[in-house]
Every structure is written in structure tokens, then in C-alpha cells.
Amino acid sequence: MSWTRGPTVGRGSSAAVSVAAAPGSGDVFAVKSAEASRSDSLRRERAILAELDCPHVVTYRGWDVTREAGGRRVCNLLMEYAPRGTLADAAAAAGARGGRLGEPAVRWCARGILRGLEYVHGRGVAHCDIKGQNILVTGEGPKIADFGLARRVGGDWAAEGPVGGTPLFMAPEVARGERPGFAADVWSLGCTVIEIATGRPPWADVSDPISAIHRIGFSGESPEIPSFLSEQCRDFLSKCLRRDPSERWSAGELLRHPFLEEVGEEAPEFLSEEAQTKIPDTESPTSVLEQAAIWSSLENSEPCHPLLQRSPPNRPPGERIQQLIGEWSANSIPPPQMPNWEQDESWVTVRSSEESREAPETSPRANANANEEEE
């Protein structure tokens, strides 16, 4: 299949995500790309995602290897495109509520994520990085995305590299370097509910990732559950945020919690009113003919994310941390956005999905007519 790469819409620790279109059919999809020599994580993600088929998990569309500028081989994971953005975007766009969602919307989102987790866990997979930025919002419900750190529970963990994750959303056992199981995703779900229900990240008073990992892993504390939430919501969170993973409720048990009773299937108001300017009130298009703005953006496509270009020289860790967190304070008004803990080439790796390496340059477009056999 021939396809054209459009604008970059996101990034991970080792790959860039772009909108793409197939000129012949008009299909629109997302493409996650990484240089072939640095694509171990992307290949693992493909192997897992290709086996999943659930309304609450992003849909796998295919795999392609292309030649980019300078003859570099780039691996491309083709996936469903969700133009509404992420759950973190949706919460931030709810300006009338101070960047947080009301409980009806929180219930709807939590149920959808749990449905996805119940399915994924039933196939023996732990996602290992649940957070608002990795949940896509659609009219049909939230969809779990970014399986770059996912692991098969009971599989060969050593062969898949060190365990990673986002510090503020890590379960205590993961912060201590233990193997995560399904319960680690439940803890991260609880942190995500706090994130969207309060407009603040969990552990809002933490100032750097090393402190976060130590506090989460060894302090004996759990994230604060705000008192303004309903009793049912607070009880739901208490079942997610038990420090002993054996005591946390499973995804299936949480789906039967009273907090999620009587949640309708219809999308809540934040998709149609509060976030209208940030998240278009449209369904995920399957064709460029369904959304003219996407076609226009593809005509003027942008280069791949700088992550796939040569990295700048490393800077001192203190300067790097200050850049990420700025003058961030738990008492900031308006509430602060969550610091960007994403790993990149300037970090000294503590725990990650794969060793940090220098990233390549790519061309603005990828023509999949240059298909090659995967090695």
C-alpha cells in the first residue's frame, strides 16, 4: 500500500507519531515511526497490538518498512487515527472546570479504560504505562494506546529489556524495580482518574523524577485522594491505590464497583461542548474525504518530529530537569500541568524500555511504494 506521511501529532521516548493517508483509497491513519536499527520497542509493540481486537484498544492497521533521506530504513507501525486527541488533552480543554472533568465524565472514561484493561489482561498482557496521555478519546469511548512498554505477564522479561513507565503513574512495585503485573495497570488507572478529576497530576508536590520513584517505591504512601470527590469515587480509588498489588481490585472487579453503576453508553458533555474548540466533535475518520482539514494538512506535510532527527549535545542533568519542570509548584494557580517526564536522549537512564540512543533524521514524507521485507 502506498501512503503519504502528514504532520507530526505526538511523540514517545523512541518514536514519532504522524497522521498519514493512502492517496489511492483515501484512508487516514496514524503512523508511529522509528529507525530500523532502534526499533526493538516498536517491533514488540507491533507484535502485541496485532493480536488485540477490542473497541477500547487502538486498532492495528499494518506494518511497513520504508527508505528515508540518506537511505535510512525506518519501521512504521500503522494504527487507527483518533482526531479528538488524548484524555489528558480533553481534561486540559475543560477550562470552565479548571482543567478537570466532572464525575459523570470521569465515570465514563474509567469504565472504558477498564473494559480495555480487562480485555488486554485477559490476553496475558500488562500495558505498563497507563496515563491520560496514552488514552485516546473517541465518540465510542476511550481507547488504550501506546503499547511500547507493554509486557506479556509470565513471559521472558529479560529478553524484553528493563521495565519502564512514567514515574508519577508508576505502581510501588514498579518503582522498586520489580516485575509489573496486571495490578500495576490498576494503580496507574487510579492515578489517571486523579489526574482527570482534579486537573493535577498524582503526587502533585513531587519536584523531580528520582524523588518520585523513591517516594512511590519506599515511603509507604499513596497519592492523596481529594476530599471533594464523591464517597463512591474515593472508595473506587482506594481499591486501585492499595500499595500491596495482591490487595488491589482487578479490572473486572472494578467494573462492578458502585462508582461505575448506571454509566450510560452515550459520550458525556465534555466531548460535545466543553472541549469543542480543542477536540473536534467528529468521529474518527477513515477517509480523507471525511475531514477536509486533514487533507489540507497532508498537502503541506511537516517533517517528522525532531525526535527522529539528530539530537543536540547532552546538557547537565540539573539543567535538563529544570527545563522540564520550570518553576512548578503544588500550589501554583492556575493548577500546573504535569511535568514532562518523557525519556529522551538527554536523560541518564534509570529504568526504561530500551537503552537511550541517538535518533535519526527522516524525510518529511514516506512513500510505502518502497516496501521492503522485514528482517
Average pLDDT over residues 150-168: 75
pLDDT of the residue at 196: 95
Lowest-pLDDT range, 90-94, 192-196, 241-245, 310-314? 310-314
Average pLDDT over residues 194-208: 90
Q: Which phi and psi (to 5°) does residue 93 adopt?
A: -75, -10
Residue 145 in contact with residue 58, Cβ under 8 Å? Answer: yes
pLDDT of the residue at 238: 98
**Annotated binding-site residue? 32:** yes
Average pLDDT over residues 287-296: 37
Average pLDDT over residues 70-80: 93
Query: Is the per-residue pLDDT at 155 higher than 60?
Result: yes
DSSP string, 13-81: SS-EEEEEE-TTT-BEEEEEEEEGGG-HHHHHHHHHHTT---TTBPPEEEEEEEE-GGG-EEEEEEE--
Lowest-pLDDT range, 125-134, 258-267, 341-350? 341-350
Query: Is the per-residue pLDDT at 153 higher than 50?
Result: yes
pLDDT of the residue at 14: 74
pLDDT of the residue at 287: 36
pLDDT of the residue at 345: 43
- Return mean pLDDT, the chain: 77
Percent of the chain at pLDDT above 90?
51
Going from the N-terminus, what domains does the chain have, and what CATH number goes with each?
4-81+285-310+360-370 (3.30.200.20), 87-271 (1.10.510.10)
**CA-to-CA distance for 35 and 50, rounded, in angstroms?**
20
Residue 362 in contact with residue 303, Cβ under 8 Å? Answer: yes
- The pTM (predicted TM-score) of the whole model is 0.74
pLDDT of the residue at 342: 53
Catalytic residues: 129
Query: Is the per-residue pLDDT at 308 higher than 50?
Result: no
**CA-to-CA distance for 296 and 21, rounded, in angstroms?**
11
What's the Cα-to-Cα distance from 24 to each of 3, 21, 27, 28, 198, rounded to whole Å? 8, 9, 8, 11, 45
Query: Is the per-residue pLDDT at 74 higher than 70?
Result: yes
The string of pLDDT tens digits covering residues 230-273 is 999 999 999 999 999 999 999 999 999 999 998 877 666 666 54
pLDDT of the residue at 247: 98
Query: Is the per-residue pLDDT at 80 higher than 90?
Result: yes
25 band by pLDDT with thresholds 50, 70 and 90: confident
Average pLDDT over residues 68-88: 91
Query: Is the per-residue pLDDT at 169 higher than 80?
Result: yes
